[in-house]
Every structure is written in C-alpha cells, then in structure tokens.
Amino acid sequence: MRSRLILILLAAVIPLSARGTWELGGKVSVVQGSGSPRLQAVVTAEYRLMEYLSWRTDMEALFSDLSRSSTFDLTIPSNLLWYPLGHRYKIEPYTGPGLSYTYTSGANSYFGCNYLAGVRFRPEKRSTFGIECKYAVRDITRWSDSQSIAFGLTGSWEFAF
C-alpha cells in the first residue's frame, strides 16, 4: 500500500521538476456513476511538453454526501493530452488517456484508467475556461462496477518558469 502511494506521488511530482510552461487550474464536476449524482472538486496542474502534447495531473475530491464534507474519496489521475490545433488559437480542443489512483474514505485503494475530452477557450493570453467530459474506471479489476462519466466546467492560469 505504501509503495503504491509513493509511486503515485512520484508520477504527480516528477513534472514539477521540469522547466517550461505550466497551467494551474481547477474544475467543478457533477459525476454520475452507480447511484445519485455527486459533486467533485479538482485542482489541476498541466505541463506543456510541446505544442500539441501536454501532461496533466489532477487531485480530485469526490463528495458523496455534502452534509459530511470531511468524508470524500481522493483520486489522482495523470493524463497525456493531445491538442490537435496546438495552442495557437483561442479555442483548444483536447483529448487523451490516463491512469489513476483512488483512496476512498473507507480506506480502500484502487488503480484505474480514464479518458478525457474537452475544449478550452482562451479569451486572454494567460487564462482559459472550458468544458470537459471524463469517462473513468476507478478499479480496473472490477471494470463494469466502477465506471463513471463526469461533465465539468474548467478554468486555468498559465505560468512560465
């Protein structure tokens, strides 16, 4: 368990040591899985590898009961995103696969996968907003029981190091 968590944290932290353009942002989503819709709050960090390719790692908190805000599941997905138009225009569609690690409030750990597709709008040079759809499988050993689809509103701010 401890070694798995260390590997996930390394996957999230390694891009932080790189030099280049970062976009830090967030997302608020409504997640529909097995049961009623739930609220998800996300912090995102995306590193631009090249004009058409970037690596994004998120930290997601999924709240199943908003009256008990201290009880939530924590997921860290990491995705390789492809931007078919690059970052040249005010509209930036993107898509890409990823892997994830989830730690639930019930002290369970899962490895999963996901796929993102979205579009960002860049009205100003260093900020964006957009909409995103994410298909996720929380536990790859129980694929059909752990699927979910999330639609979210996104926003980010660009930083150069």
Q: What is the pLDDT along the chain (161 residues), one digit of tens a residue?
A: 555 555 555 555 555 555 568 888 888 888 776 667 788 888 999 998 888 999 999 999 988 766 566 678 899 999 999 999 988 889 999 999 999 999 988 888 999 999 999 999 988 777 888 999 999 998 998 887 788 888 888 888 776 65
Q: Compute the chain's Rg from CA coordinates.
A: 16
∠ CA(26), CA(60), CA(122), 5° rounding? 20
Question: What does the alpha-carbon distance between residue 76 and residue 158 come to, in Å, rounded to a whole number?
Answer: 21
Question: What does the alpha-carbon distance between residue 157 and residue 161 come to, in Å, rounded to a whole number?
Answer: 13
What pTM does this model have?
A: 0.78
Q: What is the phi/psi pair of residue 81, to 5°?
A: -110, 135
Cα 45 → chain centroid? 9
| DSSP H or E stretch at residue 9 | helix 2-13
Position 161: which residue type? F
Question: What does the alpha-carbon distance between residue 26 and residue 16 come to, in Å, rounded to a whole number?
Answer: 17
Q: For the chain, which residues make up each domain, given as ranges?
A: 2-16+24-159
Question: What does the alpha-carbon distance between residue 132 and residue 117 come to, in Å, rounded to a whole number?
Answer: 6
CATH topology of domain 2-16+24-159: Porin (2.40.160)
pLDDT value, residue 4:
56
